Structure 1
Amino acid sequence: MPVLSRTSSATHARASLGRGDGVTIYWRPGCPVCAKLRTALRGHGDRITWVNIREDADAAAFVRTTNRGGQEIVPVAVIDGVAHSRPTPRQVLAALR
């Protein structure tokens, strides 16, 4: 998984890299993989920041910088400054422990 660049979509890169107390997950409505991840992570919402890329152009740009070819593949979880495209619930839960 790529390490986030501090220059990529600066607003979200700085926010994600600066957080040490949880996980940031970028998602979009209608994405079945996002819905499955969200369901699996119920009960941990206080430690996860969910960012809808359809409501935030900077977030969408950030997601495109983390995926090969500039694709908007979601979900993207930022864990300890590293972006994980399509993380498993197990990966996210491990980061929250």
Structure 2
Amino acid sequence: MKRPWILPTLFVLCGSAVATGMFLKGSPGEAVVLLLVFGLLAAVNSPLIFPRSIGALEAQRLSAVDGRPVVFWRPGCTYCLRLRIRLGRNARRLHWVDIWRDPAGAAAVRAADDGNETVPTVLVAGRPHVNPDPAWVREQLPPS
């Protein structure tokens, strides 16, 4: 199993187990609601909500060409999720690098933050910014 899917899978399994117990105790309505909540948590923490990740070296090369920022992120990070949601449709205009899938991306984040893997780290014009404000990131996008 791929590492980014561990947390969503745990949400689904735990939600299913608890909902099954509630269903067997005679609370089918509550079981369905609980299962939907756990399903939503799994979806939000899955790689599906984020744009497709590419490798760090490719993202940095593309950023140098088109001027779009690079976002280093990892699944399960609430700050990454906040950035993604607050960017809305503009999120697709950035280059996203999953540091759990790309060792070069993880190394770039560690180099930017004194050895820590703090995400999201946004690379704008070659300069790293750790956990920036989503409004600021939106301002860094080149005109479309």
Gaps of 5+ in 1: 1-9
Gaps of 5+ in 2: 1-55
Q: 1:89 aligns with which of 134, 139, 142?
A: 134
Query: Highest Rg: 1 or 2?
Result: 2
Higher relative contact order (CA 8 A, sep 6+): 1
- The number of residue pairs the alignment matches comes to 87
More helix by share: 2
The runs of 4+ residues in structure 1 deviating greater than 6 Å are: none
Cα distance between partner residues in 1 of 2:86 and 2:95: 15
State the AA in 2 paired with 1:89.
P
Compared CA separation, residues 12 and 73, structure 1 to 2 (3 A): farther
SS at match of 2:89: coil
Q: Give TM-score, length-normalised by structure 2.
A: 0.54
Aligned residues of 1:16 and 1:81 also touching (Cα < 8 A) = no
Which residue number corresponds to residue 67 of structure 2?
A: 21
Percent of residue pairs bearing the same amino acid type: 34
Cα distance between partner residues in 1 of 2:84 and 2:60: 24
Q: CA deviation at 1:79?
A: 0.9
More strand by share: 1
